[in-house]
Every structure is written in C-alpha cells, then in structure tokens.
C-alpha cells in the first residue's frame, strides 16, 4: 500500500480505537507467504512459528490455501499457541510441537486435541512423549532436533554447534539412538513414538542470502550424513529458517532470488528422491510471514528536556513493544513520518512505565514531535504484544486491529484478569 493511504487509514483507526494500537495488514501477510513459498523449492512444507504473532486472523490467512501459495503448517510451543491455532479454525493435525521443556501435562493436552508431530530435544523428552501417547493409546511421530557440531563456513549468527538446551548434540547421536533403540526392543521401551526424521533450526533473521544458502547446504549435508551413518530413518526433514524482515524500522522483506535454485541443487545432491517426498522437506518462519504486516501506532503524551537531553514520552512502552528490550537488547526503532527533507532531532523515545528501562530508542533521530502527535513504528507485526511485558504495571494491552483491502476485519485486545482457583 502507498504510504499516503496508510497514513490516512492509520489516523482514522487511531481516532476510532485509541492508542497504543497495532494495525496488521492481512494482505501483506498473504503476500509474505506467497513471497516465501516462491523462494523455496516447489512442493516443500512451511511452518508458521506462532511465537512471532499468534493473532488468529494472521494464523488463519497463513494456514489457508491461498492464491500462489498453499497453507502453512503451524509450529507451536505451548498449549496456548495450540489454542490459537484452533481458534483460527486450523487443525491440530497440521501442528509441529516444539520446545525443550515439554511437560507430561501439556503433551497430554496436545495429544488429546490432535497433535501428532513433535520435535524432541532429549531422551527424557522422547520417553515422556512416548509414555503420554501410549497412555492415550495413539501413535505419534517425532523429529529429533539436532544441534549440529559443524558450522557452515559462511555463517556468523548461529544458534547451533554451541552448548544449548535445544536439540541432541550431533556427536552424541550414536549413544542417544542406541538408548532409544534399546527402548524399542525391550518391553518397557518406546511403544507409541515413531522417530520419522530430524529437525534443525540453526539460525534466525539472516539478510545475507549467501549466508542462508551456506547454512542450508551445511544442514542438508549434515542430515544426509547422520542419516547414513546412524541408519536414522528420514521420512521428514525440517531444516529451519532464518528469513529476515526489518524489526521496528522501515524497509522491506529480504529477497532471496537465488535460494530456490540453490536449494534444489543441494537437495538433488544429498537426497536424490526428495522430489518424490523422500524425505519430505520442511522450513519454518515466524518474522518473515508476519513482521511486515504490522504497524504500531502510539501517541506522544509529553516531550521534556532533562539536562539538555530530549525525551519523547509515548503511550507505548516496553509493555507494548518490548520483545527485544525484555531480552536486554535495545531496539533501534524508527518512527514515521520522517520523510525526506523533514526536520529531525535527536531524542530518546520512551514509554509511560515507572522504570528507566522503558526505552524504545535511546538518542535516536526523530521527527520534531509534540504532545498529541501520532507516531507509527513500522514492521511491528512480529514479536509485538506477545513478546512484551504485557502485565507490567497493570496497563491495558494494546488494541490489535486487522485490515484487509483497507477495511477492518477485527478489533480485539488481550485481557488479563485474576481468577480464584
Ligand atoms: C523462534 C523460532 C522460529 C521462528 O523464528 P523467526 O526468526 O521468527 O523466523 C522458528 N522455529 C523455531 C524452532 C523457533 O524457535
């Protein structure tokens, strides 16, 4: 959508619903899905990681078969995310349940509601899944999440190859498999779990296509080697993601023009039968699919100067858009409009909370703002409300509005209330 049209729409929505307000453009979500599928080999699966944004309208658009792109599966990591999948009208059968700390209680709930595919991170995790599924009398599948030992030559940001709560260390797989296989052989062992493949998630948010290609190549080679050496069945291979979109600053989704052909070539080498679904290949993304769709609208409540430094105080703090601040990283947010030629000044953009940590941007360039001005933080569709300190200081959650073709589809707000138990 052209910016001028956005500005008019945003001003109208802010007037109607108040701020802080998230606006999610569902057309952008559909476009992102089509863009990502067109960058991946034909016929692969793509899982949407609900962690990025569990809003049911977004989950539904991604899960539906649409023009130019099939429906995504859903990658979930809690029973709350499973509830969001079901609220979106999607099936639990399309879920991949992941996470290093799955409890028997949540596994039972997930299985009861129809989830059948789990990524597992340890022998304890596989055994727990097995006993819960056996008690329910159903068979489930698991992908062993692998923390690969070797790094791709081109990769700098990685979440693998180092000590981690995620996955099985690849060098320990022989022992792990022996343990799980012994389980299968003796009567007290694995009864209800089939190990059908592997899951890798080595990196996140990569703008460098060569880097991404290098990591996927590395993962494919590692998966092929592990499968061969350890006779590990490989019907399904999830090689993760890393697709990038700006976060809280202007800009478009990263394009990966070479990715499809590079991946197809690498797959042909490592898995000659992949085109016939042996193994089936899957990818995952959260931010790429949802990030570009969202704009956070906030109102300036005050502008003050303290010892020569300017502070722009808004009604949206880290309780509203605080994912990265919560993780101890400061978000280099940018604010629109600051069109070319418009005057800018240095100031800190802060929220309303009673903590000096409530900073969205420290000494950043901002347009000249005054109380009552509306500001827009772009690319806020992923890791927004649910990655924020929503409960902190008892402020209401932001309203979230979804729009399609410029018209409102839904408006809602998460509520938290105390209930006796
Ligand atoms: C967080 C996560 C994702 C999504 O990451 P993005 O950077 O948002 O694409 C996908 N898969 C797993 C296993 C994750 O933990």
269 with 252, same domain: the answer is yes
Q: Are residues 400 and 313 in the same domain?
A: yes
Q: How far apart are CA 202 and CA 164, in angstroms?
A: 11
- Domain of 273, CATH number, reads 3.20.20.10
pLDDT at position 369 over 50:
yes
Residue with CA nearest ligand 1 atom 2: 49
The confidence band for 1, taking pLDDT boundaries of 50, 70 and 90, is very low
Q: Tell me the CA–centroid distance for residue 291 and ligand 1, in Å.
A: 12
User: Is the predicted pLDDT of residue 421 greater than 90, yes or no?
Assistant: no
Ligand 1 centre distance from Cα of residue 323 (Å): 14
Is there an atom of ligand 1 within 6 Å of 121 CB? no
**289 within ligand 1 shell (Cβ under 6 A):** no
The confidence score (pLDDT) of residue 116 equals: 98
Q: 41 with 264: CB under 8 angstroms? A: yes
396 and 257 in a common domain? no
pLDDT > 70 fraction of the chain, expressed in percent and rounded: 91
The pLDDT, as a whole number, for residue 6 is: 87
CATH code at position 357: 2.40.37.10
Final residue in a domain of this structure, among 285, 312, 339: 285
For strand 399-404 and strand 407-413, is the pairing parallel, antiparallel, or unpaired? antiparallel
3-class secondary-structure state, position 274: helix
Q: How far is the CA of 97 from the centre of ligand 1 (A)?
A: 12
Per-residue confidence at 303, pLDDT binned at 50, 70, 90?
Answer: very high
Residue 324 forms part of a structural domain = yes
Residue 1 covered by a domain? no
Q: 328 falls in which pLDDT band (50, 70, 90)?
A: very low
Q: Does residue 253 have its Cβ closer than 6 Å to ligand 1?
A: no
Of 285, 310, 329, the domain-final residue = 285
Is 111:136 a contact under the CB 8 Å cutoff?
A: yes
Hey, which of 33, 48, 62, 285 would you mutate to test ligand 1's pocket, going by the most ligand atoms within 8 Å of its Cβ? 285
Asked whether residue 275 falls in the same domain as residue 332, the answer is no
Residues 266 and 408 in one domain: no
Residue 330 has pLDDT above 90, yes or no: no
Ligand 1 pocket, residue 177 CB under 6 Å: no
Residue 157 has pLDDT above 50, yes or no: no
Give the pLDDT mean for 294-321: 96
Residue 410 CA to ligand 1 center (angstroms) comes to 26
Residue 349 within any structural domain of the chain: yes
Q: Is 52 in the pocket of ligand 1 (CB under 6 A)?
A: yes
Above 50 in pLDDT, residue 331?
yes
Between 339 and 373, residue with greater pLDDT: 373
Residue 142 and residue 280 in one domain: yes
pLDDT-wise least confident of 111-120, 183-192, 403-412 = 183-192
Q: What's the pLDDT band for 152 if we cut at 50, 70, 90? A: low
Ligand 1 atom having least distance to the Cα of 285: 9
Length of the chain: 421
Mean pLDDT (whole number) for 184-189: 67
Q: Which atom of ligand 1 is nearest to the CA of 98?
A: 13
Does residue 127 sit in the same domain as residue 181?
yes
The CA 131 to ligand 1 mean position distance, Å, reads 28
Same domain, 232 and 372: no
Q: Which of 110-114, 135-139, 189-193 has the lowest mean pLDDT?
A: 189-193
Flag whether pLDDT at 234 surpasses 80: yes
In the chain, the number of structural domains is 2
Q: Is 241 in the pocket of ligand 1 (CB under 6 A)?
A: yes
Find the 205 Cα to ligand 1 centroid distance in Å. Answer: 9
- Residue 74 Cα, ligand 1 centroid: separation in angstroms? 11
Tally the C-alpha atoms within 13 A of residue 208's C-alpha that lie toward its C-beta: 9
Q: Tell whether 258 and 306 lie within a shared domain.
A: no
Distance CA 278, CA 240 (A): 18
Please name the residue that has the structure tokens 């827009």.
376
Distance (Å) from CA 286 to ligand 1 centroid? 6
Contact 324, 341 (CB under 8 A): no
Cα Rg for the chain, rounded, in angstroms?
23
Domain membership of residue 10 (yes or no) is no
Q: Give which of 391, 402, 246, 222 is closest to 324, Cα–Cα.
A: 246
Instruction: Please give the residue range of the domain that contains residue 163.
Output: 98-285
Residues 255 and 371 in one domain: no
Ligand 1 geometric centre to CA of 193 (Å): 24
Residue 410's nearest CA partner among 23, 50, 53 is 23
Q: Is residue 18 part of a domain?
A: no
Does residue 204 surpass a pLDDT of 90?
Answer: no
Percent of the chain with pLDDT over 90: 73
SS3 80: helix
Is 347 inside any structural domain? yes
Q: Has residue 56 been placed in a domain?
A: no
Read off the pLDDT of residues 334-354 as tens digits, 9 standing for 90 and up. Answer: 676 556 677 889 999 999 999
Looking from the CA of residue 243, the nearest atom of ligand 1 is 9
Same domain, 132 and 245: yes
Ligand 1 pocket, mutate which of 100, 201, 207, 381 (most atoms under 8 A from CB)? 201
| Per-residue pLDDT at 156 exceeds 50 | no
Give the model's pLDDT for residue 188: 63
Residues 274-302, mean pLDDT to the nearest whole number: 97
Q: How far is the CA of 124 from the centre of ligand 1 (A)?
A: 23
pLDDT tier, 333 (very low <50, low <70, confident <90, very high otherwise): low
Please enumerate in sequence order all residues whose Cβ is within 8 A of that of 179, keeping only pairs 6 or more positions apart, or say none.
123
pLDDT at 391 over 80: yes
CA of 14 to the centre of ligand 1 (A): 31
Substitution site in 40, 145, 166, 204 for ligand 1 pocket (most atoms within 8 Å of beta carbon)? 204
Atom of ligand 1 at shortest distance to CA of 204? 7
Residue 49 in contact with ligand 1 by CB distance below 6 A = yes
The answer to whether residues 313 and 269 belong to one domain is: no
Query: Is 326 within the bounds of a domain?
Result: yes
* Residue nearest ligand 1's atom 6 by CA: 286
In sign, the C-alpha dihedral spanning 89, 95, 99, 102 is positive
67 pLDDT more than 80: no
Which of these three, 285, 301, 328, is where a domain ends?
285
């Amino acid at each position: 959508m052209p910016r001028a049209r956005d500005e008019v729409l945003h001003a109208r929505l802010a007037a109607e619903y108040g701020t802080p307000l998230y606006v999610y453009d569902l057309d952008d979500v559909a476009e992102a899905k089509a863009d990502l599928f067109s960058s991946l080999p034909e016929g692969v699966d793509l899982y949407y990681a609900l962690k990025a944004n569990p809003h049911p309208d977004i989950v539904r658009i991604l899960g539906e078969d649409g023009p130019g792109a099939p429906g995504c599966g859903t990658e979930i990591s809690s029973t709350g995310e499973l509830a969001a999948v079901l609220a979106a009208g999607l099936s639990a059968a399309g879920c991949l349940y992941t996470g290093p700390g799955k409890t028997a209680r949540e596994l039972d709930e997930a299985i009861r509601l129809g989830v059948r595919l789990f990524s597992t991170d340890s022998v304890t995790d596989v055994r727990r899944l097995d006993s819960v599924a056996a008690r329910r009398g159903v068979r489930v599948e698991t992908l062993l999440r692998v923390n690969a030992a070797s790094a791709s030559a081109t990769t700098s940001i990685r979440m693998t190859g180092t000590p981690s709560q995620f996955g099985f260390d690849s060098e320990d797989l022989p022992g792990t498999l022996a343990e799980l296989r012994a389980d299968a052989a003796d009567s007290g062992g694995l009864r209800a779990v089939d190990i059908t493949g592997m899951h890798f998630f080595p990196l996140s948010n990569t703008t460098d296509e060569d880097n991404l290609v290098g990591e996927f190549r590395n993962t494919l080679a590692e998966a092929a080697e592990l499968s061969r050496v350890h006779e590990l069945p490989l019907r399904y291979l999830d090689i993760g993601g890393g697709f990038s979109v700006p976060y809280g600053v202007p800009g478009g989704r990263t394009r990966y023009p070479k990715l499809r052909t590079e991946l197809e070539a690498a797959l042909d080498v490592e898995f000659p039968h992949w085109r016939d679904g042996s193994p089936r290949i899957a990818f995952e993304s959260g931010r790429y699919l949802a990030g570009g769709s969202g704009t956070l609208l906030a109102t300036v409540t005050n502008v003050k100067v303290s010892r020569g430094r300017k502070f722009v105080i808004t009604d949206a703090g880290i309780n509203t858009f605080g994912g990265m601040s919560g993780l101890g990283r400061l978000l280099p947010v940018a604010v629109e409009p600051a069109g070319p030629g418009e005057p800018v000044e240095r100031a800190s953009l802060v929220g309303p909370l009673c903590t000096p940590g409530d900073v969205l941007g420290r000494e950043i360039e901002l347009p000249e703002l005054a109380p009552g001005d509306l500001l827009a933080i772009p690319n806020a569709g992923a890791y927004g409300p649910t990655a924020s300190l929503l409960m902190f200081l008892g402020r209401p959650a932001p309203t979230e509005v979804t729009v399609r073709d410029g018209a409102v589809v839904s408006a809602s707000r998460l509520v938290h209330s105390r209930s006796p138990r």
